[in-house]
Structure 1
Amino acid sequence: MKKFASLGFLLLGAIGCTVGPDYQRPSVQIPEQYKEAPVGWKFASPNDECSNEEWWRVFNDSQLDALEVRLEISNQNIKAAFYQYMQARALVTQARAAYFPIISGFGSVTREKSATSSALSSTAVSGLSAGTGSTPTVGAPFTNYHLELDASWAPDIWGSVRRTVEGAVAGAQASAAEVAATRLLAQASLAQFYFELRGLDGDQKVLDDTVKNYQKLLRITQNQYKAGTASRANVLQAQSLLELAEVQAIDNGILRAQYEHAIAVLIGVPPAEFCIDANPIAFTPPFIPAALPSTLLERRPDIAQAERLVKQANAQIGVAIAAYFPVLTLTETGGYNATKLANLFSKPAQFWSLGAQLADTLFDGGLRSGQVEAACATLHQTVAQYRQTVLTAFQDVEDNLAALRILNEEFNKQKQAVNTATAALDVVLNSYKAGTAAFADVL
């Protein structure tokens, strides 16, 4: 009994062994501050940051809010990513099943009859006689009842199952991050397309006003031509300007239709069944403080996904190394076998067996070493991809900060230019209508 107890303690101690490297998050270089952040830029604090779940509400646009809700429900890319995550969770369940023994049951009822001695060859009879000590007699038909329970268990001595589960969990976490990344990309695309469409609505209003102004200019020029104060060339030039403005208005409509169709696809609706009424809105972008560089790694789902893939690859090294060690399998079989149903559960009808099997591969031609090398190479690949993802994330932030700063400067300059051009146009048009300015001045 002491021997069995000692063996049990040794087995439990061996089960605590896990081969392969333990995971450590790869180091990355993080800047202290953003290069393109404007002077005096306020960085976000936890109270300033908009909710990651409904970040678009900072724009205070009820129609955009409604579209984002529809996107969450009906976007097919989000659904596909979600069910891929469900597959990854199922793989975790499958991996954890290896912790437990496999138990199976078997039952049968058969009607049997032994062969008669006359049907046996002399060789067979002599062989049977040698094995039983007697010559087989004529067998009578009988019913055989059989119940059997089998169990087998391979204890995770070297940690192969633990590493497999670790990798599966990391894979599921990476898949969850991919769902978040897919959702965020779809939400951002919808917001971008929506404001592009609203911008085109504003452009359309400007183009429509331009067409009306050129129509007035054409009528004035035609009247002046009839009065002999303008040439035929002036009329043709005015007509050409009108037609070019009309072409631009048509092109603007094409772009608007394309954005409308893109929004329809994002919310899972056929483009033919979706329409957004024109509404040229005056939009002022809200102030959105930037997060510190050190928090970027925690906020971007694509970075989280890349980091979890590194952990998954790290776990696979342990799985590959564990293949070098022997596999212990414990088996147990027990049950009942009787020729009468009433005696099936009697003690004489019982049978059982216990066993242990230790199996190892003695030669594989370099298969396992190749698997370890491949797992290590995969780890290095995922580390490089993780670091590249981090670098790209910092680039995205710097690009957008630079764009915000430069576009703000451009907006102020354009506003001044529009005011100046409007004032100049009013002066020239009044002079042209009064006949004191030439048509070339209007152009």
Structure 2
Amino acid sequence: MRSPVIRSWRTSALCGSALTALQIAGCAVGPDFAPPAPPSVERYTPQKTASPGEGQRFREGAEVPARWWTVFASPRLDELIDEAIAASPTLEAAEAAIHAADFNASAAAGAWFPQLALTSGSTYNLSSGDATNSTVLQTPFSYFTKQVQVSYTLDVWGATQRQVESLEAQRESLTYLKQAAQMMLAADIAHAAIEEAMLRDQIAATRRIVALEEERLRLLERQFAYGAIASPEVLSQRTALTQVLETLPGLESRLAQQRNRLTALAGRYPSREIEATFELSQLALPRDLPVSLPSQLVKQRPDIRTAEANIHAASALVGVAVAARLPNVTLTAVGGTSAFQLAQLFAPGTGFYTLAGAVAQPAFDGFALLDRQRAAEALLQQAEAQYRDVALKAFENVADSLRALQSDARAVASARAAEATSKLYLDKVRWRLKQGDVSQLVVVDAQRAVLNATKTRIEAEAQRLADSVALFVALGGGWGKKEDR
């Protein structure tokens, strides 16, 4: 938001511009900016994207909520993101950059007003008799001058208007960049929280697997002691136990790194670790996933709006370059008073004034101004091409997220089916153990299969949550909603 001083100054500048327009029949040279037309496509994928199923569905045309992360129903996540947004040095730096751009635009608007300069001079003189070729006795004297100079350059060709327009567009671009940074900050925290939750569940499952492997090893060692099996079977089980144990340090290290990342994202140093912890059971899967219309995506994505603002800034600079090649009209008025004695400065007959008007037309500059105009036009073409590139990548992001969520639903369904099957097998094995048909080793193996299937299911569910976050980000994160401002 602009400060009242900035808004007041901008209003005054616009009034000055209106006064100039009334005084002269001026015009703003160069291209007038028009927002690029939205892509003429009706969907993100070749065919209509089917809802992923397994508890999720796409709602075409629905709006992305401003605080989209609340759909995961985690108060801890909501509080952490709010804390991070309030304490983020990245967002603070972005806000300062916006203020700087605002003041630069206000400074450029100052050219719409007459420039006033006050001059006060006093000299003490002694002229050389030889230099003046005078035989009069040399006498030192003082000379006092007070004057006011007013100059005004008419914005005949709209050079100032285009310059201010360009700077305003740059400020707008920085505003969108800040919104993009805020959106990505929330997304990074959500992804890190999901990763932490997955790691905690995987570590717990891995520790249960370690306990089962240790139990299996004890059973084999007992059978070996009775001579029922050979030593290679025991050695093989020890190797299996070691391999499982080797996975724990890596998981625990990744968990520690995610804690450090979440702490840093919250604007804290690692020694002040955040209090909140995350588990998958505390994160709800979003049931309804909004899918904005393609025509709306270009208005929602902050990176696309940034690219659009860059086109605006570049097009205005073309007008500045064109105006620099045209005649420049400057009006000047100087008035004041001068006297040899300070007490006589305002006596009758000491006043003077000068009124002047000048028209300057560049004649020959080695084609420098023409080349600058061509460079500005080339930069405009570059900005337009960059806009198309950003838009293409944005549509690609959405299509990738939609496809990923469809695949995630199938992966979760398969993982849950495998887990359910392994649990059913474990139940049957336990029943057979009671009947004396199988050994305890078979039961341990069945329990290990269940835990491995559980780990796979945990990974699939975490990936589905992460891809849900990716879809909200691909659609623009709802940053433009009123409640975000």
Taking structure 1 as the reference length, what is the TM-score of the superposition?
0.86
Tell me by how many angstroms 1:295 deviates. 1.2
Tell me by how many angstroms 1:148 deviates. 1.2
Amino acid at match of 2:225: K
Amino acid at match of 1:171: Q
Is structure 2 residue 119 aligned with structure 1 residue 120?
no
The structure that has the greater radius of gyration is 1
Amino acid at match of 1:76: P
Deviations 1:32-75 (A, max 9, x none): 133263247322445xx422xx3212222122122212211222
Q: Work out the CA distance in 2 between the residues paired with 1:384 and 1:290.
A: 26
Is the 1:76–1:268 Cα contact (8 Å) retained in structure 2?
yes
Instruction: Please name the residue that 1:132 is paired with.
Output: none
Instruction: Please name the residue that 2:60 is paired with.
Output: 43
Amino acid at match of 1:152: S
Q: Work out the CA distance in 1 between the residues paired with 2:373 and 2:392.
A: 29
Instruction: Please name the residue that 1:225 is paired with.
Output: 224
For the structure 1 residues 292 and 173, does the alpha-carbon distance in structure 2 shift closer, same or farther, using more than 3 Å as the test? Answer: same
Identity %: 27
Which stretch shows the higher mean deviation, 139-148 or 300-309? 139-148
Is the 1:28–1:387 Cα contact (8 Å) retained in structure 2?
no
Deviations 1:139-192 (A, max 9, x none): 544443321111111110111111111111111101110111111111111111
Instruction: Please name the residue that 2:396 is paired with.
Output: 395
Query: For residues 16-165 of structure 1, what are the structure 2 equivalents within 5 Å?
Result: 16-35=26-45, 37-39=49-51, 41-45=58-62, 49-51=64-66, 54-115=67-128, 119-120=129-130, 124-125=132-133, 137-165=136-164
Q: Which runs of 5+ in 2 are unaligned?
A: 1-18, 52-56, 447-485
Tell me by how many angstroms 1:12 deviates. 5.2
Q: Work out the CA distance in 1 between the residues paired with 2:183 and 2:309.
A: 18
Which stretch shows the higher mean deviation, 249-258 or 270-279? 270-279
Is structure 2 residue 308 aligned with structure 1 residue 291?
no
Is the 2:20–2:154 Cα contact (8 Å) retained in structure 1?
no
Deviations 1:184-235 (A, max 9, x none): 1111111111111111111111111111111221222222222333332222
Amino acid at match of 2:284: T
Is the 2:429–2:442 Cα contact (8 Å) retained in structure 1?
no
Deviations 1:101-133 (A, max 9, x none): 221111134444454xxx326xx42xxxxxxxx
Over aligned residues, Cα RMSD in angstroms?
2.6
Tell me by how many angstroms 1:439 deviates. 6.1
SS of 1:29 mapped into structure 2? coil
Question: In the comparison of the two structures, how many residue pairs are matched?
Answer: 417
Instruction: Please name the residue that 2:459 is paired with.
Output: none
Q: Work out the CA distance in 2 between the residues paired with 1:276 and 1:241.
A: 36
Which stretch shows the higher mean deviation, 396-405 or 106-115? 106-115
Tell me by how many angstroms 1:361 deviates. 1.6
Instruction: Please name the residue that 1:409 is paired with.
Output: 410
Taking structure 2 as the reference length, what is the TM-score of the superposition?
0.79
Instruction: Please name the residue that 1:4 is paired with.
Output: none
SS of 2:60 mapped into structure 1? coil
Deviations 1:367-423 (A, max 9, x none): 122112111111111111111111111111111111111101110111000111233
Q: Work out the CA distance in 2 between the residues paired with 1:335 and 1:273.
A: 66
Is the 1:14–1:158 Cα contact (8 Å) retained in structure 2?
no
Instruction: Please name the residue that 1:238 is paired with.
Output: 237
SS of 1:348 mapped into structure 2? coil
Q: Which runs of 5+ in 1 are unaligned?
A: 1-8, 126-134
For the structure 1 residues 29 and 428, does the alpha-carbon distance in structure 2 shift closer, same or farther, using more than 3 Å as the test? Answer: same
Amino acid at match of 2:321: A
For the structure 1 residues 391 and 250, does the alpha-carbon distance in structure 2 shift closer, same or farther, using more than 3 Å as the test? Answer: same
